[in-house]
Amino acid sequence: MLEQIVVHCRELRKTYEGKVEAVRGIDLTIYAGQCYGLLGPNGAGKTTTIEILEGLLDASSGTVEILGLNWRENAAELRELLGVSLQETRLSEKLTVRETLELFGGFYRNARPVEDVLDELALTEKADAWVGKLSGGQKQRLAIATALVGNPRVLFLDEPTTGLDPQSRRQVWDIVRRFQSEGGTVLLTTHYMDEAERLCDFISIIDHGKVIASGTPAELISGVGGHHRVEFALETEPAVAAEFWRTLPGVGGVLSEAGVTALTVEEPHLTIPALLTLVEQNGWRLNQLTTRQSSLEDVFVNLTGRRLRED
């Protein structure tokens, strides 16, 4: 079975007021049933990209095709097929949850019954509460509900869990997974690497308006040169070049930062004994030694030399 392409964009560029180039040539291909993540720091161009795909911004150049349609000729049709949740929409506070969903459902030719959506997003209890009285997590679930009530085939979520507590984040993830399991396609932006890692089937890492890497989470992580990280610090930093550590067996990458040396390794059971022997032979003293699985954060740091969240 050939996988159907749902979103396809080529050479997407967006220049604001002839100066700031927010998006500098992005290509994306999203297949049916995929959960596709745009991962990147704040200001990388994620929101601009997703808003162009949502038909809310015009691209300066490039092509966008969604479900075989484009914004220039099939805007009305496309809007019926897409569900959108923006980064910061504050819905009317003096409407109840049910009224809000009835309103949004009313915009679509074919909408889902409000009770079904309420039930699916665990909002039934709050159905008659004013939006202004909801907690942050409930508000975010309602925002996603307004996207789902139109029975969309593709869901666009811009930073769906930013500012939420861990439990609310997990609830949002469950909603996304359920939509996906029912055959829906999802594109979401995030600057949380754990979110991208757990939720997305395919990720494009965006920095300065460009895709700097893409693949499945596993592909991206193995691309750093190993699935494990060995990090250590010595009491007195020896005068050796980073390259020195590459002589250890199984080391795929080396990164030194603030006295801590991080090795990306494929087989830690070979690397660690060799490292300990080396330390002992030279009479150095270890202050710290940890080992863990590589993460997307490591991928980003490897690619840019910066951390994903500089805060």
54 near another protein, judged by CB under 8 A: yes
Site for another protein in 169-188 (CB under 8 A): 181-184
Nearest to 141 by CA among 116, 168, 162, 178: 168
Cβ–Cβ contacts within 10 Å for residue 269, how many? 9
Is the Cβ of residue 88 or residue 257 nearer to another protein in the bound state?
A: 88
Residue 208 CA to residue 42 CA, distance in Å, equals: 10
90 near another protein, judged by CB under 8 A: yes
Is the Cβ of residue 121 or residue 272 nearer to another protein in the bound state?
A: 121
Report the sign of the C-alpha dihedral through residues 185, 189, 190, 196, in that order: positive
Given 37, 45, 105, 137, the residue binding another protein (CB under 8 A): 105
Contact 160, 188 (CB under 8 A): yes
Give residue 168's identity as a one-letter amino acid code. S
73 near another protein, judged by CB under 8 A: no
Q: If DSSP codes are grouped into helix, strand and coil, which group holds residue 231?
A: strand
Residue 284 CA to residue 40 CA, distance in Å, equals: 38
Pairing of strands 5-16, 20-31: antiparallel
> Nearest approach, Cβ of 48 to another protein (angstroms)?
12
Residue 24 CA to residue 305 CA, distance in Å, equals: 20
- Tokens for 113? 């019954």
Site string for another protein, 108-147 (x = CB under 8 A): xxxxxx--x-------------x---------------x-
Report the sign of the C-alpha dihedral through residues 208, 211, 217, 220, in that order: negative
**Which residues fall within 8 angstroms of residue 194, CB to CB, at 6 or more apart?**
295
For tokens 């409000």, the residue is 114
Given 79, 170, 177, 208, the residue binding another protein (CB under 8 A): 79
Give the count of residues interacting with another protein (CB under 8 A): 41
Contact 120, 101 (CB under 8 A): no
Given 37, 41, 55, 250, the residue binding another protein (CB under 8 A): 55
Is the Cβ of residue 72 or residue 292 nearer to another protein in the bound state?
A: 72
91 near another protein, judged by CB under 8 A: yes
Q: Which stretch binds another protein (CB under 8 A): 82-90, 167-175, 211-219, 300-308?
A: 82-90
Site for another protein in 235-294 (CB under 8 A): none
Is the Cβ of residue 130 or residue 173 nearer to another protein in the bound state?
A: 130
Contact 57, 48 (CB under 8 A): yes
88 near another protein, judged by CB under 8 A: yes
> Nearest approach, Cβ of 39 to another protein (angstroms)?
22
Given 16, 61, 68, 107, the residue binding another protein (CB under 8 A): 107
Is the Cβ of residue 38 or residue 230 nearer to another protein in the bound state?
A: 38
Q: Which stretch binds another protein (CB under 8 A): 64-72, 80-88, 236-244, 284-292?
A: 80-88
> Nearest approach, Cβ of 88 to another protein (angstroms)?
6
Contact 204, 39 (CB under 8 A): yes
Residue 249 CA to residue 168 CA, distance in Å, equals: 43
Interface contacts to another protein, rule CB under 8 A: 1, 32-33, 54-56, 76, 79-80, 82, 84, 86, 88-92, 94-95, 99, 102-113, 116, 130, 146, 150-151, 181-184
